[in-house]
């Protein structure tokens, strides 16, 4: 065999393995995101039925804390406790430093722009968002404002006096690089019936 063909063979094998490896890593992220929501759905039902600390899988360091739904888009997602990178791989994460709905302060939920929170780009002003807590209480919100925040310049502001909901994801939506300073921040206000003044 000619040396050039040997080199090409090695090249093909390497390129193919790289392709397979990267494809599986990419697919794994999406798969994990989808599968985790299934498992979470189950632990959510358990939590609603009164289980105290229903972990979605035995080694989980987080748990289902509420359910987020957007009726207009047919979206239902289980929100996890905490917003660390590991948690966000499985579902949108509730930032522990913010307030739970009904406690009078701002609630913050963040999610990955390319998995769970991809739908944020389809939301419009006036759209409804519903949060359901494990005790079955429902809180509905209306989207009032959307803005792009620069993490280098600003930090997330939590108002003590409003029961607002803030959804955060990376921005812009359709770029490839996974890191960037911009965040898309949607601010929703509680609907009056359930308002938390």
Nearer to other proteins by C-beta: 49 or 174? Answer: 174
Of 1-9, 34-42, 44-52, 131-139, which segment contacts other proteins by CB under 8 A? Answer: 1-9
In whole angstroms, the minimum distance from the beta carbon of 42 to other proteins comes to 19
98 interacts with other proteins by CB under 8 A: yes
Cα–Cα distance, 151 to 65 (Å, whole number): 26
Indicate which single residue of 66, 79, 88, 188 sits in contact with other proteins (rule: CB under 8 A).
88
40 interacts with other proteins by CB under 8 A: no
Cα–Cα distance, 64 to 55 (Å, whole number): 8
Cα–Cα distance, 45 to 34 (Å, whole number): 17
For residue 78, count other CB atoms closer than 10 A to its CB.
26
Residues 134-173 that bind other proteins (CB under 8 A): 144-149, 151, 153-162, 168-173
Indicate which single residue of 34, 71, 96, 138 sits in contact with other proteins (rule: CB under 8 A).
96
Residue 102 phi/psi, 5-degree rounding, is 90, -10
For residue 172, whether the previous peptide bond is cis, meaning omega lies within 30 degrees of 0, is yes
**Cβ density class 141-156: b for 16+ within 10 Å, e for less:** bebeebeebeeeeeeb
35 interacts with other proteins by CB under 8 A: no
Of 36-44, 67-75, 81-89, 128-136, which segment contacts other proteins by CB under 8 A? Answer: 81-89
In whole angstroms, the minimum distance from the beta carbon of 23 to other proteins comes to 4
């Amino acid at each position: 065999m000619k040396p050039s063909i040997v080199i090409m063979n090695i090249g093909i094998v390497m390129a193919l393995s790289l392709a397979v490896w990267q494809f599986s890593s990419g697919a794994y992220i999406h798969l994990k995101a989808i599968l985790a929501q299934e498992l979470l759905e189950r632990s959510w039902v358990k939590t609603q039925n009164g289980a105290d600390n229903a972990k979605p899988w035995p080694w989980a360091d987080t748990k289902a804390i509420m359910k987020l739904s957007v009726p207009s888009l047919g979206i239902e997602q289980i929100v996890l406790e905490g917003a660390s990178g590991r948690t966000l791989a499985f579902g949108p994460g509730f930032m522990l430093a913010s307030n739970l709905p009904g406690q009078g302060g701002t609630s913050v939920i963040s999610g990955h722009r390319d998995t769970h929170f991809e739908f944020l780009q389809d939301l419009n002003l006036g759209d409804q968002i519903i949060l359901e807590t494990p005790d079955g209480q429902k809180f509905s919100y209306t989207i009032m404002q959307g803005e792009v925040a620069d993490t280098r310049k600003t930090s997330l502001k939590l108002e003590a006096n409003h029961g607002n909901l803030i959804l955060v994801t990376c921005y812009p939506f359709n770029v490839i690089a996974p890191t960037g300073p911009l965040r898309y921040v949607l601010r929703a206000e509680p609907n009056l019936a359930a308002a938390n003044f």
